[in-house]
Structure 1
Amino acid sequence: MRKIILWRWTFFLVGMIILSLGITMTIKGQRLGIGPWDVLHVGLYRNFGLTIGTWGIITGLLIVVGTAFVLKQWPRFGTWLNMVLVGVFIDLFNWLLPEFHSMTGQVIIFTFGVAVMAYGIGIYVAPNLGAGPRDSLMLIFVEKLGFGIKKVRTTIEVVVAVAGWLLGGPVGLGTVLIALLIGQIVHYALPQCQKLLMKLADAEAEQAFGIVEVAARLPREEALQEKNEAPRRIPVDSKQ
């Protein structure tokens, strides 16, 4: 049991670090635009100071408190940790990574950043220790308004991106690409991360995690094969 818990938290923490690195890489390539929430954080930073990571923590805290008030319950510990760690590591990587002044350099760092971000999400979601604050906000709107997840997520991200753009945040083609591609990449990255976690934590992890099968998302033949050959998987949580 201790081994399972250790691996779950290791994946969660490593995933947070990798996700933060990916976000920072896209910020370094911001001529193309950055993710909707990061547009807002950069816009707030440009107008009011502090740091990009600090604004990420502040907005995350406001969302966590707001969702807790609506749901009448506090989120899981992993949600709080997500909120703090991503902001802290974004600031750290923003300080460590060099600036990329050429368009070629920005395109390269942005492209790799999107892939790194998606795999970071896959790694931190795999142990199922808590969704990010922004995902909790999305789920509340889905529950209260009765709309689909895709529509609610798109609406929230458009509103956030417009607000960030009005504050001077960098919106561009990359903003659209991140919104469209992250989910697709995570769809392939998450099963890989889950298999690795299960392999490292041993087969008993299946019972300890309460893992739920997602065979419906796969072609029937592939789903049947995976059910026989690999541990079952948990549902896909989306980005922070």
Structure 2
Amino acid sequence: MRKILIWRWTFFLVGMMVLSLGISMTIKGQKLGIAPWDVLHVGLYKNFGLTIGTWGIISGFIIIISTAAVLKEWPQIGTWLNMILIGLFIDLFNWLLPDITSMGAQILMFSVGVIVMGYGVGIYISPNIGAGPRDSLMLVFVKKTGASVKKVRTTLEVIVALIGWLFGGPIGIGTVLIALFLGQIAHYTLPQCRKFLLKVIGEEEEDALF
């Protein structure tokens, strides 16, 4: 059981790090636009200072408190860690990755970043430790409205991206591409990561995971 716990948390933490790296790569290639929630965080950073990761943490905290009030239940510890660590990792990678100016390099950085994000999502979700704050918000709206996950997610991301754009966040074709294809990439990476995790801990332990 201890082995399972160690591997679950390892996948969870590594997944958040990989996801944050992908997000930072798309931010460095932001001439194409960035993910809807990151549009908001960059817009807030441009207007009010702090850091992009800090705004990610602040918005995540507000979402967690709001969803907890609506659902009348406290989120899993993984949700809190997701909120804090992804913000910290984004700031770390934004500092480590070089700024790039040429369009070709930005396209390459952005494209690789989206794939890295897709694998980060697959890795951190595979151990089933806790959804991120924004996924929790989406599930609340699905529960309250009865609308499909796809419809709720798209609506939320459009609203958030527009608010971020009003604050000066970078919207572009890349924003649309991430909204359309990140879920599709995760659709393939999540089963791969779950399969690898089960292989590491022993497939007979599947019930203990899921």
TM beyond 0.5? yes
CA distance in structure 2 between the aligned counterparts of 1:79 and 1:156, rounded to whole angstroms: 19
Which residue in the other structure is 2:120 paired with? 120
CA distance in structure 1 between the aligned counterparts of 2:205 and 2:171, rounded to whole angstroms: 42
The one-letter amino acid of 2:173's match is L
TM (normalized to structure 2)? 0.99
CA distance in structure 2 between the aligned counterparts of 1:203 and 1:38, rounded to whole angstroms: 37
SS where residue 169 of structure 2 aligns? coil
Using the TM superposition, give the Cα deviation of residue 145 of structure 1 relative to its aligned residue in structure 2, in angstroms: 1.0
Using the TM superposition, give the Cα deviation of residue 131 of structure 1 relative to its aligned residue in structure 2, in angstroms: 0.3
Using the TM superposition, give the Cα deviation of residue 204 of structure 1 relative to its aligned residue in structure 2, in angstroms: 3.4
Using the TM superposition, give the Cα deviation of residue 202 of structure 1 relative to its aligned residue in structure 2, in angstroms: 1.1
CA distance in structure 2 between the aligned counterparts of 1:205 and 1:63, rounded to whole angstroms: 33
CA distance in structure 2 between the aligned counterparts of 1:96 and 1:70, rounded to whole angstroms: 39
Which residue in the other structure is 2:34 paired with? 34
Using the TM superposition, give the Cα deviation of residue 203 of structure 1 relative to its aligned residue in structure 2, in angstroms: 2.4
User: 5+ unaligned residues in a row in structure 2: which ranges?
Assistant: none
SS where residue 204 of structure 1 aligns? helix
Which residue in the other structure is 1:151 paired with? 151
Which residue in the other structure is 2:101 paired with? 101
Structure with max Cα Rg: 1
Using the TM superposition, give the Cα deviation of residue 82 of structure 1 relative to its aligned residue in structure 2, in angstroms: 0.4
Higher helix share: 2
Deviating above 3 A after TM superposition, structure 1's stretches of 4 or more consecutive aligned residues are none
Deviations 1:100-151 (A, max 9, x none): 1000000000000000000000000000000000011011111111111111
Which residue in the other structure is 2:61 paired with? 61
The one-letter amino acid of 1:59's match is S
Which residue in the other structure is 1:71 paired with? 71
1:198 aligned onto 2:187 = no
Using the TM superposition, give the Cα deviation of residue 157 of structure 1 relative to its aligned residue in structure 2, in angstroms: 0.3
CA distance in structure 2 between the aligned counterparts of 1:27 and 1:155, rounded to whole angstroms: 22
The one-letter amino acid of 2:114's match is V
CA distance in structure 2 between the aligned counterparts of 1:159 and 1:203, rounded to whole angstroms: 41
CA distance in structure 2 between the aligned counterparts of 1:93 and 1:34, rounded to whole angstroms: 16
CA distance in structure 1 between the aligned counterparts of 2:33 and 2:6, rounded to whole angstroms: 37
CA distance in structure 2 between the aligned counterparts of 1:30 and 1:104, rounded to whole angstroms: 12
CA distance in structure 2 between the aligned counterparts of 1:19 and 1:113, rounded to whole angstroms: 9
Bigger relative contact order (CA 8 A; separation at least 6)? 2
CA distance in structure 1 between the aligned counterparts of 2:88 and 2:106, rounded to whole angstroms: 23
How many pairs align?
210
Could you say what the CA RMSD is over the residues aligned between the two structures, in angstroms?
0.6
Identity of aligned residues (%): 69
Using the TM superposition, give the Cα deviation of residue 205 of structure 1 relative to its aligned residue in structure 2, in angstroms: 2.0
The one-letter amino acid of 1:83's match is M
Using the TM superposition, give the Cα deviation of residue 10 of structure 1 relative to its aligned residue in structure 2, in angstroms: 0.2
The one-letter amino acid of 1:129's match is I
Which residue in the other structure is 1:227 paired with? none
CA distance in structure 1 between the aligned counterparts of 2:100 and 2:118, rounded to whole angstroms: 21
